[in-house]
């Protein structure tokens, strides 16, 4: 009997499974995270740029500059915040200007070595000039408000010099920078032209119609040049004489021997000349003069060398005074 060996069953070999080739992802699918981050950063940069432009425009506005200048020259503010007083970066409020009119309502942060505060200012612009209805300083930690527009609120040296009564001639003693009043000369008849006073070194018409400027002092002593100019209203109407607009004191200077000499400052950085105020409605060094009235403006400059005997005085109020003789004390 023949036995056939059993055949071993062959195990089934599974056929290889071929996986489908992966679909190629597009550029957006591969880089969406970077693209999103780029858009976010770009958006933030755009918002920051717009915010910076707005803040810059508000800080550079006449209203903001005037409020900071008034706060910096106010004795009460300096006592509470210390000196120097600096403007903060983050202003709030609005400034709307269209040609010669507009309005502003701002909160301007300020700070000094002793503390911080805020200047609140409200103003309206008409006929090209700002008129301020509110300008107050609130210091942190105090309920007190310092009114910067109040008479005598900023009695620091050379600051807030206000005109005397219309019948008085304003002169200033350079030793203590105080203001005194002297009797005014007789009023001329309407339409008449008064002759220059006997103490006038030089006289000429100014930019304001009917107003004459008279240099009454040009004295050099101990390295300081003292100049006084008297403005006389010879017209029959009231005149507003702006010696300087806003606080642009750098526009007033002396030229001598091919050099410029600008107004001196004291140790606190205050110009040695009457400070800008709001006597004529807008900020500036200005006097309202009735017919026949006078106003004496003064300033102190570095003195030219002693061998220089004449100089020129340049002001925005009118043409330059030229070849003014210097008197040595």
State the Cα–Cα distance between residues 202 and 117, nearest whole angstrom: 47
| Nearest CA among 158, 197, 168 for reference residue 298 | 158
pLDDT digits (tens, 9 = 90+) for 144-169: 888 887 643 433 333 333 333 333 34
C-beta pairs of 55-60 under 8 Å, 24+ apart in sequence = 55/89, 55/90, 55/91, 57/95, 58/91, 58/93, 58/95, 58/106, 59/87, 59/89, 59/91
Give the pLDDT mean for 2-9: 57
Q: Which helix (H) or strand (E) holds 45?
A: helix 27-59
Six-digit token string for 16: 């290889």
| Nearest CA among 193, 215, 211 for reference residue 203 | 215
State the Cα–Cα distance between residues 78 and 157, nearest whole angstrom: 13
Q: Say what the pTM is.
A: 0.44
pLDDT digits (tens, 9 = 90+) for 201-233: 999 999 999 999 999 999 999 999 999 999 999
Look at residue 6 in the predicted model and tell me its pLDDT: 55
| Nearest CA among 129, 125, 88 for reference residue 107 | 88
Which residues on neighbouring strands pair with residue 139, listed in sequence order?
117
Give the pLDDT mean for 308-314: 95
Mention the CATH class of domain 168-328.
mainly beta
Look at residue 156 in the predicted model and tell me its pLDDT: 34
What are the structural domain ranges in the chain? Answer: 62-147, 168-328
């Amino acid at each position: 009997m023949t036995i056939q060996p059993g055949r071993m069953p062959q195990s089934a070999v599974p056929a290889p499974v071929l996986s489908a080739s992966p679909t190629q992802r597009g550029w957006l699918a591969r880089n969406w995270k970077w693209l999103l981050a780029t858009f976010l950063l770009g958006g933030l940069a755009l918002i920051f740029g717009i915010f910076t432009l707005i803040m810059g425009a508000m800080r550079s506005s006449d209203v903001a500059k005037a409020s900071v200048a008034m706060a910096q020259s106010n004795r009460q503010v300096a006592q509470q915040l210390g000196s120097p007083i600096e403007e903060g970066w983050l202003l709030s409020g609005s400034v709307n200007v269209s040609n010669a009119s507009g309005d502003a309502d701002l909160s301007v942060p300020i700070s000094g070595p002793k503390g911080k505060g805020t200047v609140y200012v409200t103003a309206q612009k008409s006929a090209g000039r700002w008129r301020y209805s509110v300008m107050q300083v609130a210091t942190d930690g105090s309920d007190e408000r310092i009114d910067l527009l109040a008479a005598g609120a900023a009695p620091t040296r050379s600051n807030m010099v206000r005109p005397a009564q219309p019948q008085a001639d304003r002169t200033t003693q350079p030793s203590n920078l105080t203001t005194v009043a002297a009797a005014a000369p007789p009023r001329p008849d309407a339409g008449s032209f008064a002759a220059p006073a006997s103490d006038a070194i030089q006289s000429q018409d100014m930019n304001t119609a009917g107003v004459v400027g008279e240099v009454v002092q040009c004295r050099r002593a101990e390295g300081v040049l003292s100049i006084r100019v008297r403005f006389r209203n010879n017209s029959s109407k009231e005149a507003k004489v702006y010696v300087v607009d806003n606080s642009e004191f750098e526009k007033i200077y002396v030229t001598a021997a091919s050099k410029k000499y600008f107004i001196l400052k004291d140790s606190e950085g205050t110009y040695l000349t009457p400070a800008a105020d709001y006597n004529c409605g807008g900020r500036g060094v200005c006097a309202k003069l009735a017919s026949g009235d006078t106003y004496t403006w003064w300033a102190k400059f570095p003195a030219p060398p002693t061998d220089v005997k004449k100089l020129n005085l340049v002001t925005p109020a009118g043409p330059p005074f030229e070849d003014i003789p210097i008197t040595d004390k």
